[in-house]
Structure 1
Amino acid sequence: MPIRLFRFLGLADGVSLLILLGIAVPLKYFADMPLAVTYVGSIHGAIFIAYAVSIVIVQLTVGWKVYWSLLAVAAAFVPGANFVLDRAVKKREATFQIRAFPVLWIVYAIIFFSFMDLFAQLPIMSTFATSLGASTLIAGIAVGMYSFSNTGGNLLAGILTDRFGPYRLLLIGLAGTTVMLGAYSFVETPEMLLVVRFLHGFIGGFIVPAAFTFVANQSRLEEAGSENAITGAFVGAAAILGPAFSGIMAAQTSAPFVLRTVGLFGGILLLAALVLLRGQLFARTTERVAHLPFHPALVVAFGGAFLLMFSQGALAYLLPLRVEELGFSSRVSGTLLSAFGLTAVLVFLSPARRLFDKWPAVVNFRIGLLLIAAAQFALGVANDIVAFYLILMIYGIGFAFTFPAINVFLFKGTTNCNRGRAYGYFYAFFSLGVVLGSSGLAVVSSDISVLFTSTAGALVIGALFAGFQVGRQAKE
């Protein structure tokens, strides 16, 4: 079945590429029909995403070498190559061995989609708002509206996940987010944009608490750190690919096209969840949903989530200003952030992630926060661009140590009956940290170096406080 799905979508991708290049593009340039590329391009983009997902499914379920997947990806960009590859796969189809599909990877893909949705909006939303006639103020509100309503969605989803299980919440979140991403194509005024942004953020907030609850409930305590490292790798990959994808695609098409394409990916994952996850996730609990107790581990988890994203918000706010202050191009900021993201993903996927299981969570947490604090301080005093790249790599290592650690603390402080609610609060603190880190610092000082130092100081205090809380837990 996976091979046949792959072959069908490969042929469909090959045909749609030929139609796009052979018919739609000539109609655009020689017959003044640009909509031909818009519509055919949308269809081809959806088919390509489905084809890419089928490659991942085959790689996970069929015993073939990685080079087959690489050939499959390459074939999608060469007209006619899909047909040649299909013939080669057909000849060897009987030799491929099917194995059980690891359903956890569907949840990882859903987490990737949720953060891809978030990061793909960043480069395009403010300009899309102004193109609709919005003022600078309204454009800023439109950008922040998503995070504002997303926080409410996180909190509600946490409560509902404990009551009904994550499966239903994942389906609702995927279906609603897919619809709202498509709704941007019908937005014509700034007022409509604000409504869509609010609904998009709210329903999108259902996905992450449910998905992370599932991953946590499938993990054992002694492996919780490495499991969350893999989750962090998908988040990091979305942070790297999302802005690049939307920036490049929007330059060639439009913001609604980009969001529509991301929405099609969500629709494919919705179908995959309906087929592959049904019966896999725990159903509605028959136990009384437990209240979330005060637990030192949860205090560290929530505080760590806030500090981690406060640092991220500060980095997003201050780094471009610091780069501009030193006379470098604004494009340098993007490559610096990519260096941080790539470093974090490499640590998440490397054998080093086993340290997250071997070392106590508080040790990993302190190492991570102190590395990030050192990087924040160094960004405020360094003047050399090469030093900036090294500093951002250190920041990435710190992020890689911190993210799994705070998830382990949440795991320790909860049970299956209240973990969804805990993740709802957890990601609400995430959003709050971003908001205060990106905008709250502006009222502290206008000196960029002072703000970097202040951020570093807050992280150091957080690392010390975590040790105090863990020590208190041990005494109890």
Structure 2
Amino acid sequence: MKRLLYGIVMLCFMDLFIQLPVMGPFAKSLGAGSFVIGLAVGLYSLTNMFGNIAAGYWIDRYGARAILLLGFVLTAGVMLLYPLVTQPLHLIIVRFIHGLTGGLLVPSAFTLVSHYASGQLPGRAMALSGAAVGAAAIVGPAVAGITKAQLGLTPLFIGTSILLALGALLSAVAVPASRVKQITRKLQSSSPHSMTGFEVILRKRPVVQSYIGAFSLMFAMGALTYALPLKVDELGFSAQISGLLLSTFGVVAIIVFVLPSNRWFDRISPLTLMYSGGAVIMLALLLLSFSNDQMAMFAVMGFYGFGFSLLFPSMNALLVNNVSAESKGRAFGLFYAFFSLGVVAGSSGIGALTANYDIALRIAAGFILLAGCVVASLQYAELKGKEKEAS
């Protein structure tokens, strides 16, 4: 069952990674200007946040399996709208809807994984889930590029819809009813718009630390995806080098996730691994900003992948270990909302601050350092509070 769930995680992320390389050129082919092209690319992540939060609430109310199935069905349907798009405004509308429906998928899948890992090896389970994400990050853009070149965009969109429909079929037939319990009577009797459940989750220090890790990691990724192609182009490297550099970090992360090294995530404190991963990523971003040699850049991206492999499972495990079963849907919904927000802030925010790719990478490194200091200060404040209570 767990292996099937990792496959479902991969299908959820294929929805994201297949569209990434083609959406900008698709918007341009419709006659969109640079602003609308950027909006078409980024709007998915923006509305995805709202889908994540809604998914979190519904998962705890109706079960992760039901929301996962709904997300697959709706998103498969939305993919069939893309071939009907004939002007930029239509594309913006479809991207808006796609972000909302796609936001239902990832929190549902990770909630299911977390329940099957509960009481066993949550760190290892999250590492293997990370391998599924990494596989989607490598396979998705490659499939998109090949399909677009050989068959065109319409078959790509239809094929992606079929892939998501397959995910819906697997969820309906092979995944048992979610172990997520129905929400408590007290919460059920509250207003449908009540945020009480989210407030309770956000009062937990480890959960907040996990969210800070999620936001900072994807802030760095957003900055990297903004700055790296610009740097590669400026240095005169071939166009495919950007993709190969990003694939290098993904391959290294997957290797760490699937090898016996994934036992680290249940033997070492999640916070220790988070600090270590953040330090590696910060150093990698700084090194990348000073590197102009192609081979050195590949080595640094491999180092970045190692940092990613430490940070991603550990912050997931920190979340799993500190939320109750009936709150995991909302917890993962918020977690991936911070993921989406981090991507938008990292790419658009740093892009608005500077056009210099090296400075952008250094700003991202500084942000990782700041996030680490905030996480450490939260831990320090809690320890001081416990000391006062003891005295």
Q: Same fold (TM over 0.5)?
A: yes
Is 2:115–2:180's contact at 8 Å kept on the other side of the alignment? Answer: no
- Per the alignment, residue 198 of structure 1 pairs with 96
**Residue segments in structure 2 that go unaligned for 5+ positions in a row:** 188-195, 387-391
1:167 Cα deviation from its structure 2 partner: 1.4
**Taking structure 1 as reference, are residues 350 and 137 closer, same or farther at Cα in structure 2, changes over 3 Å only?**
same
Deviations 1:219-253 (A, max 9, x none): 23562111100000000111111111101110111
Is 1:167–1:210's contact at 8 Å kept on the other side of the alignment? Answer: yes
Whole-angstrom CA distance in 2 between matches of 1:288 and 1:339: 49
Residue 381 of structure 1: which of 290, 296, 300 is its match?
290
In the alignment, structure 1 residue 127 sits paired with structure 2 residue 25: yes
The 5-angstrom pairing of residues 203-352 of structure 1 reads 203-220=101-118, 223-279=121-177, 281-282=179-180, 284-285=182-183, 287-289=185-187, 291-292=197-198, 293=200, 294-352=203-261
Deviations 1:431-453 (A, max 9, x none): 11111111111233333322222
Is 2:30–2:88's contact at 8 Å kept on the other side of the alignment? Answer: yes
**Taking structure 1 as reference, are residues 382 and 130 closer, same or farther at Cα in structure 2, changes over 3 Å only?**
closer
Whole-angstrom CA distance in 2 between matches of 1:415 and 1:454: 36
Give the stretch that moved more between structures: 128-137 or 404-413: 128-137
Deviations 1:65-105 (A, max 9, x none): xxxxxxxxxxxxxxxxxxxxxxxxxxxxxxxxxxxxx2x33
Whole-angstrom CA distance in 1 between matches of 2:364 and 2:98: 31
Whole-angstrom CA distance in 1 between matches of 2:374 and 2:177: 42
**Which fold has the larger relative contact order, with Cα–Cα distance below 8 Å and residues 6 or more apart in sequence?**
2
Residue 114 of structure 1: which of 12, 15, 27 is its match?
12
Residue 54 of structure 2: which of 150, 153, 156 is its match?
156
Whole-angstrom CA distance in 1 between matches of 2:317 and 2:164: 28
Is 1:221–1:411's contact at 8 Å kept on the other side of the alignment? Answer: no
Amino acid at match of 1:398: G
Is 1:297–1:473's contact at 8 Å kept on the other side of the alignment? Answer: no
> Residue 279 of structure 1: SS of its match in structure 2?
coil
Whole-angstrom CA distance in 1 between matches of 2:107 and 2:184: 20
Amino acid at match of 2:143: F
Whole-angstrom CA distance in 2 between matches of 1:129 and 1:447: 25
- Per the alignment, residue 305 of structure 2 pairs with 396
- Per the alignment, residue 140 of structure 1 pairs with 38
Whole-angstrom CA distance in 2 between matches of 1:110 and 1:186: 28
Deviations 1:363-397 (A, max 9, x none): 10011010000100001111211111110000000
Is 2:181–2:325's contact at 8 Å kept on the other side of the alignment? Answer: no
Is 2:81–2:94's contact at 8 Å kept on the other side of the alignment? Answer: yes
Is 1:287–1:417's contact at 8 Å kept on the other side of the alignment? Answer: no
Give the stretch that moved more between structures: 208-217 or 438-447: 438-447
Is 2:63–2:178's contact at 8 Å kept on the other side of the alignment? Answer: no
Is 1:222–1:357's contact at 8 Å kept on the other side of the alignment? Answer: no
Whole-angstrom CA distance in 2 between matches of 1:338 and 1:345: 10
Whole-angstrom CA distance in 2 between matches of 1:414 and 1:375: 32
In the alignment, structure 1 residue 185 sits paired with structure 2 residue 83: yes
State the TM-score, normalizing by the size of structure 1.
Answer: 0.75
- Per the alignment, residue 174 of structure 1 pairs with 72
The 5-angstrom pairing of residues 399-438 of structure 1 reads 399-438=308-347
Residue 277 of structure 2: which of 368, 379, 392 is its match?
368
> Residue 277 of structure 1: SS of its match in structure 2?
coil
Is 1:165–1:285's contact at 8 Å kept on the other side of the alignment? Answer: no
- Per the alignment, residue 190 of structure 2 pairs with none
In the alignment, structure 1 residue 454 sits paired with structure 2 residue 363: yes
Whole-angstrom CA distance in 1 between matches of 2:290 and 2:175: 50
> Residue 6 of structure 2: SS of its match in structure 1?
helix
Give the stretch that moved more between structures: 239-248 or 128-137: 128-137
Whole-angstrom CA distance in 2 between matches of 1:367 and 1:221: 25
**Residue segments in structure 1 that go unaligned for 5+ positions in a row:** 1-101
> Residue 327 of structure 1: SS of its match in structure 2?
coil
1:283 Cα deviation from its structure 2 partner: 5.7
Larger Rg: 1
Whole-angstrom CA distance in 1 between matches of 2:129 and 2:234: 36
Whole-angstrom CA distance in 1 between matches of 2:184 and 2:353: 50
1:203 Cα deviation from its structure 2 partner: 0.8
State the TM-score, normalizing by the size of structure 2.
Answer: 0.91
Is 1:367–1:401's contact at 8 Å kept on the other side of the alignment? Answer: yes
Amino acid at match of 1:171: L
Whole-angstrom CA distance in 2 between matches of 1:350 and 1:140: 38
1:279 Cα deviation from its structure 2 partner: 3.0
**Taking structure 1 as reference, are residues 407 and 442 closer, same or farther at Cα in structure 2, changes over 3 Å only?**
same
Whole-angstrom CA distance in 2 between matches of 1:470 and 1:226: 24
Is 2:285–2:361's contact at 8 Å kept on the other side of the alignment? Answer: yes
Amino acid at match of 1:363: T
